[in-house]
Amino acid sequence: MARIALWARLRQLTADDIEQALVQKRSIVKTWSLRAALHLHRSSDFSVVVGGLMPKRLLREQRWIHRAGLKEEETTRIVLNALKDGPLTRSRLSDSLNKKLGAWTRNWRDGGWGVKKVGSSLAWHLVDPAVARGLVCFGPPDGQEITFVRVDQWIPGSSRIPPENEGEEELVRRYLHAFGPADAKDFRAWAGGYMTRIRGAIERLRDELVEVDSDGHNGYLLRKDLPDLERADVDRGVVRLLPSFDPFMQGHYSRGHLVDQARYREVYKEAGWLAPVVLLDGRVVGTWSYRREPRKLVVNVTMFSPFTKGAREMVEEEAGDLSRFLETSDASVRFTG
């Protein structure tokens, strides 16, 4: 989904470009970040993202570690030492932690969601605080398995993690530059976090912000962005196929500017699931899915209302380029709804 999200924004992107950026160039880094979910970030933004999220995420992870009867600083040192010789898969990291922590891990064996399962271990979750601190991220895949790696080895020369207030303020700036006008509730919907800290960061930035009314909703913009927005031309007739959980769809608490209320539950589903959507001029006009068939990519589009001939043609063009990106030789689009 993250790869398709990049494709939707960068024309002519290839799947190999992303793999090169992740593994060889390391200009993109994969880590748990916004809302504690897995994301891809530019390596140059890594310290800003981690610094802005750390106050909330680290406290939560520390409480969890302490309730388990351990000291987070100590377990984080053990994790970093286990990774000193390079990336480890989840299972190998878990084995290493089991050896160090002995009796404690023998009493904590679980298949996930509270189901006992002999031979499994959740000890690898001790990596979570190290990830929240910006010391560990995801490394290169090992076959079908994920790996973890030390950031100082994986992203040499990476920037220092800024102090708490500085990190939160810079992340709010980046957010408002991309999603403004927005308020504290919007930021929390996008990033997670505590409202008191978010409001505090916004208050400290007051001199850099301007409050505006957007369709009856008051929100903040960066003052320096206002002239560019006032001069901006609005493109029309732009169609994009966005994947499930695309960041564009998660930037605000209220989403009436994106999708009609009557169709809301077809996009924002139960249990936090988010459908892939068809955008026309920035609004959701349908959902879509795809499947691979021999030598063909089949794209199924559910229209919320009948598409014009021009809109159908643009969807077909998007599907054709998605087929190129996913390295299939052809694409067909089926419209329903």
Residue 113, pLDDT > 60, answer no
Which pLDDT does position 283 carry in this prediction? Answer: 95
| Average pLDDT over the chain, rounded to an integer | 90
Averaged over 106-116, what is the pLDDT? Answer: 46
User: How confident is the model over 267-286, as pLDDT tens digits?
Assistant: 999 988 999 999 999 999 99
Strand-pair category, 296-303 with 331-336? parallel
Tokens 């014009």 label which residue?
Answer: 308
User: Which value, in Å, is the radius of gyration of the alpha carbons in the chain?
Assistant: 22
Which pLDDT does position 118 carry in this prediction? Answer: 42
> Cα-Cα-Cα-Cα dihedral of 79, 84, 90, 91, to 10°?
-100
Q: Which amino acid is at 157?
A: G
Domains in the chain, CATH or no CATH each: 2-154 (1.10.10.10), 164-231 (1.10.10.10), 239-336 (no CATH)
Q: Which amino acid is at 235?
A: D
Averaged over 250-276, what is the pLDDT? Answer: 94
In DSSP notation, 214-270 reads ETTEEEEEEGGGHHHHHHPPPP-S-EEEEPTT-GGGGS-S--TTTS-GGGHHHHB-G
pLDDT-derived band of residue 121, with 50, 70 and 90 as boundaries? low
Q: What are the CA-CA distances from residue 120 to residues 75, 127, 147 (Å)?
A: 19, 16, 17
**Cβ pair 64, 58 in contact under 8 A:** no
CA distance 123 to 96: 9
199 Cβ contact partners less than 8 Å away, ≥ 6 residues apart: 184
Measured on CA atoms in the order 67, 70, 71, 75, is the torsion positive or negative? negative
User: How confident is the model over 63-72, as pLDDT tens digits?
Assistant: 888 887 889 9
Which pLDDT does position 116 carry in this prediction? Answer: 47
pLDDT-derived band of residue 119, with 50, 70 and 90 as boundaries? very low
Output the pTM of the full model: 0.89
User: How confident is the model over 162-176, as pLDDT tens digits?
Assistant: 999 999 999 999 999
> Cα-Cα-Cα-Cα dihedral of 304, 277, 34, 159, to 10°?
-140
User: How confident is the model over 144-167, as pLDDT tens digits?
Assistant: 899 999 999 999 877 789 999 999
- Coil/strand/helix, residue 298: strand
Measured on CA atoms in the order 162, 165, 171, 176, is the torsion positive or negative? negative
Averaged over 316-322, what is the pLDDT? Answer: 96
Residue 183, pLDDT > 70, answer yes
DSSP tag of 10: S
**Cβ pair 171, 108 in contact under 8 A:** no
**Cβ pair 279, 246 in contact under 8 A:** no
pLDDT-derived band of residue 103, with 50, 70 and 90 as boundaries? low
